[in-house]
A and B are shown apart, each in its own frame.
Chain A
Amino acid sequence: AQSVTQLDSHVSVSEGTPVLLRCNYSSSYSPSLFWYVQHPNKGLQLLLKYTSAATLVKGINGFEAEFKKSETSFHLTKPSAHMSDAAEYFCVVSDPWGTYKYIFGTGTRLKVLA
């Protein structure tokens, strides 16, 4: 069965410093992976997705993620945090043959300090 683990429930960074949100997955086959962002009182918005093409995936708002099969990781990064990046981030793995087609991580709340 597919699973996804977000290693940090909370991350705090200063504005202008790099962001790293960690995600590890478990999959018995080549997975599709996604990162979503949820701003307060808003729906989840797709940041980027990996579907077995390039391992380095670029998303919106300067975010990118690298698929590393050997480490079963799909960490989300951004070179320089902005105040508007403060939100909750969800790592998601698709599970086409499972009951739940999309498996969500428990989320990482990103705080950006001025």
Chain B
Amino acid sequence: DSGVTQTPKHLITATGQRVTLRCSPRSGDLSVYWYQQSLDQGLQFLIQYYNGEERAKGNILERFSAQQFPDLHSELNLSSLELGDSALYFCASSVDITGSGNTIYFGEGSWLTVV
């Protein structure tokens, strides 16, 4: 158990809908990262938050947004969903922002299926 908690574990929704994925980082970790993993794209970095502030943006679509709350949990909002958004979405956390030598811990992921 990595200590990173993600909900829901599985989600099936229709095209055009909106969903919210939730993540609680490990106790004491201030950085939260979101990744998308699909068969054709592999593991893609979406966005990073540190202590409530957005710090880095990767290949995140404009239809997607995220935030980190004062209690450090984070939410990834996916809207106007398309079939191609079906993927495994991972949340990860690390103790600080730098990434230097600090381990990044992954949750079990949220499986999103868009039908």
Q: Would you call B58 and A94 a contact (CB within 8 A)?
A: no
Chain B residues proximal to chain A, CB less than 8 Å: 2, 4, 31, 33, 42-43, 45, 48, 56-58, 90, 92, 94, 97-109, 111
Q: Would you call A100 and B43 a contact (CB within 8 A)?
A: no
**Nearest residue in B to A92 (C-beta to C-beta)?**
B104
Q: Would you call B56 and A49 a contact (CB within 8 A)?
A: no
Q: Would you call B100 and A43 a contact (CB within 8 A)?
A: no
Segment 69-94 of A: residues with Cβ below 8 Å from B: 90, 92, 94
Instruction: Kindly specify which of A15-23, A60-68, A102-110 makes contact with the partner chain.
Output: A102-110
A residues in contact with B92, CB < 8 Å? 44
Bound complex: CA A49 to CA B94 (Å): 14
B residues in contact with A41, CB < 8 Å? 111
**A100/B58 contact (C-beta < 8 A), A43-B2, A90-B43 known:** yes
Q: Would you call B43 and A102 a contact (CB within 8 A)?
A: no
Q: Would you call A101 and B106 a contact (CB within 8 A)?
A: no
